[in-house]
Chains A and B, each alone.
Chain A
Amino acid sequence: MGWIGDTMDSIKSLQIRQVLTQAISLGMIVTSALIIWKALMCITGSESPVVVVLSGSMEPGFKRGDILFLHMSKDPIRAGEIVVFNVDGREIPIVHRVIKVHERQDTGEVEVLTKGDNNYGDDRLLYAHGQLWLQRHHIMGRAVGFLPYVGWVTIIMTEKPIIKYILIGALGLLVITSKD
């Protein structure tokens, strides 16, 4: 009870000047997060430098809730690489391994076929109707690094939005009431 009482007191005793300071520090936190994200986009050349694995199709290598770091360089795509791709008509990107590559002699364009390590067949069933190969423009990046479990935070927050609101509310309260 004492803690809640103190919190209420500190909210009541807020001055305009203090409110402004808090607003600015909150803004700083938000913008620095944005800056880090955009900087990562520039460095890795991928439109989403970090993805969360949502399905078990790459088990036992990648489990649901693991985080992958992507990199999109000019290097040609080769068999065995784990790529993240978008299929026309599907919103959620897929993380699978390249098993076949055909690179054109004249234009250098590539046609690749992917497969999930844990899936029985290749990905032609996942592609758009009648699509046999992925082209370069479907591919968002290739996975270069791996961090287990951390992605569960985002999975839980997207599936149980209430937890997200509680968390944001608590953090906001903490920022408002902190006196430093």
Chain B
Amino acid sequence: MHSFGYRANALLTFAITILAVMCGMASFSDNFNSPTPSAQVQVLNINWFQKQPNGNDEVSMTLNISADLQSLFTWNTKQVFVFLAAEYETPKNALNQISLWDGIIPSKEHAKFWIHTSNKYRFIDQGSNLRGKEYNLTMHWHVMPKTGKMFADKIVMPGYRLPEEYR
């Protein structure tokens, strides 16, 4: 009854149960955080804008991104993955989402930032619909926890427009 194996088993089971409950509570505590992040993006320049030989439009732009995501961080936050996507509708596609820039924020100290960058991933349409196209820039973030449930949300910034002519 009170053999070594029996006691070791009881201790292990108890330890794992406590650990699981603590992980669950840590993840649950994230629900009490109500973040108030903010973001601004300016399109400083259209570097070039052309039609590829295969018929798809491609544009290169310079962006100025500033954001304050400090309120997303809690004690259960490992990192925040943040990215800026261009979102627009075309006759062919109901939704196009193209990531232009992304970054990993490792800690709260780095969560208030601004960056001056050209688009990190290529902004290519499926087809030739980008001339004069109105699009949204959306700042998305995915909160990766130390353990438990992942959270995601976004800020939509509407009212951007691409030029009418290739350049």
Q: Which A residues contact B (CB, under 8 angstroms)?
A: 3, 60-62, 78-82, 97, 99-105, 108, 111, 117, 122, 143-148, 174
Contact = CB atoms under 8 A, between A and B. Distances in A.
A61 B79 contact: yes
B83 A105 contact: no
Nearest to A80: B140
Given A105-B94, A147-B147, A148-B147, A61 B99 contact: no
Q: Is the interface of B mostly helix, strand, loop or mixed?
A: strand
Contact of A99 (B4, B94, B99, B146): B99
B41 interface: no
B136 interface: no
A146 B147 contact: yes
Contacts of A99: 83, 98-99, 102, 121
The 6 closest A-B pairs by CB, nearest first: A79-B97, A99-B99, A101-B97, A103-B95, A80-B140, A105-B94
8 contacts: A61-B104, A79-B85, A82-B142, A100-B121, A102-B96, A103-B95, A144-B149, A145-B149
B106 interface: yes
Interface residues of B, number: 35
Contact of B4 (A3, A97, A144, A145): A3
A80 B94 CA distance: 18
Contacts of B79: 60-61
Contact of A79 (B83, B91, B147, B148): B83
Interface in B112-156: 121, 126, 140, 142, 144-150, 152
B59 to A, nearest CB: 14
A161 to B, nearest CB: 23
A145 B94 contact: no
B92 A145 contact: no
A3 B126 CA distance: 71
Contacts of A61: 78-79, 81, 104, 144
A117 B81 CA distance: 9
Nearest to A112: B97
B147 A80 contact: no
A101 B96 contact: yes
